[in-house]
Amino acid sequence: MNPTPTVIATVDIGTNSTRLLVCSVDSSASERPVLADLERHSIVTRLGDGVDSSGRLAPEATQRVLDVLDGYMKIIQLYPVAAMGGVLTSAGRDAADGLEFSERITAETGIPVRLIGGDEEAQLSFAGATSEVPRDGRRLLVCDVGGGSTELITGQVGELDFHVSLPAGVVRQSERHLKSDPPTTEELEAAAIEVRELLQAQVPDSVRGSVDACIAVAGTATTLSAIDQSLEPYDPARVHGSTVTLERSRELLGRIASLPLAERVNVDGLHPDRAPTAVAGAVILCEVLEAFGLNRFEASEHDILRGVALMLAASSD
């Protein structure tokens, strides 16, 4: 008789959104664990609001996160969860009170949350994104455009060989550069130039020229795919594994960047909560593809949440 799959609950507290994954993990059937989503939720909480300028987390932003996590805990309690845990990423690292906030989350919500560094974030993101990718020898770029940073990880499945955390994300770039509504051509170019310069300075030519394909995770990639397909409502099954070319990504960027926020929120496939930062995200992803000489990305629903779930499952065996 096969053992009962383990139920794992994970949360990811990012600069822009707070997300939940409840999944079952079956480690008995193959060389790699099989995960099946039971619940997946994402709510824009903008924890990183103002962190770039103040260096601290805003009380109203931390309260938004705590309120969402209280709701997530009610969902978690509906399942026979064997292990749960979460991670606090870029905004927590950038804020002087990030560690204090992670401890407060654990104390007030009952969800064990750790503030993690860029190295661990890269490892978890790569593990999650490649958890069901064939071991076919391709060198992959996993691109995770977040709110405060963009994680770039390269390697073959199971074998990460380079990573960097760029200090450029959708909230950070929006606050720094995209101040007009809609943003001006000059503002868009300033945002792109900063990302371009970061890529040139922090990713060696040998790395940028050695990857075969890009798997892009998180809200920017899935949103561009959803807009490309005019998905209303959002359908993760149609987004996961879909591809969007660089040329099409630039077209979509031009389209949403030309619209004031009041009109952008009505674009099919673009969740209204992501509309304020979607332009910055598209700028970043396009610059990453250009820098690595890639003409398309594959959107993936498998990301750091899945990586944390795999880690928790392994530690609970």
pLDDT range class, residue 66, cuts 50, 70, 90: very high
Residues 206 and 166 in one domain: yes
pLDDT at 1: 37
Residues 21 and 168 in one domain: no
Residues 101 and 150 in one domain: no
- What element of type H or E holds 173? helix 170-177
The tens digit of pLDDT for each residue in 9-54 reads 999 999 888 999 999 988 776 667 778 899 999 998 989 888 878 8
SS3 of 250-263 = HHHHHHHHCCCHHH
pLDDT at 147: 83
The tens digit of pLDDT for each residue in 204-249 reads 999 999 999 999 998 899 999 999 999 988 898 899 999 999 999 9
Number of domains in the chain: 2
Residues 219 and 242 in one domain: yes
- The answer to whether residue 128 sits within a structural domain is no
The DSSP-derived string for 87-154 is EE-HHHHHSTTHHHHHHHHHHHHS--EEE--HHHHHHHHHHHHTTTS--SS--EEEEEE-SS-EEEEE
Residues in the chain: 317
| pTM: predicted TM-score of the whole model, two decimal places | 0.85
Q: What percent of the chain has pLDDT over 90?
A: 71
- The answer to whether residue 1 sits within a structural domain is no
Pairwise CA distance, residues 192 & 86, whole Å: 32
The tens digit of pLDDT for each residue in 141-154 reads 999 998 888 989 99
CATH of the domain at 77: 3.30.420.40
For residue 301, give Cα distances in angstroms to 125, 218, 233.
11, 7, 16
Domain hosting 196: range is 133-300
Residues 198 and 261 in one domain: yes
pLDDT at 90: 81
Residues 159 and 210 in one domain: yes
Residues 155 and 292 in one domain: yes
For residue 37, which amino acid is it? D
CATH of the domain at 289: 3.30.420.150
- The answer to whether residue 127 sits within a structural domain is no
pLDDT at 53: 82
Residues 46 and 141 in one domain: no
Residues 103 and 154 in one domain: no
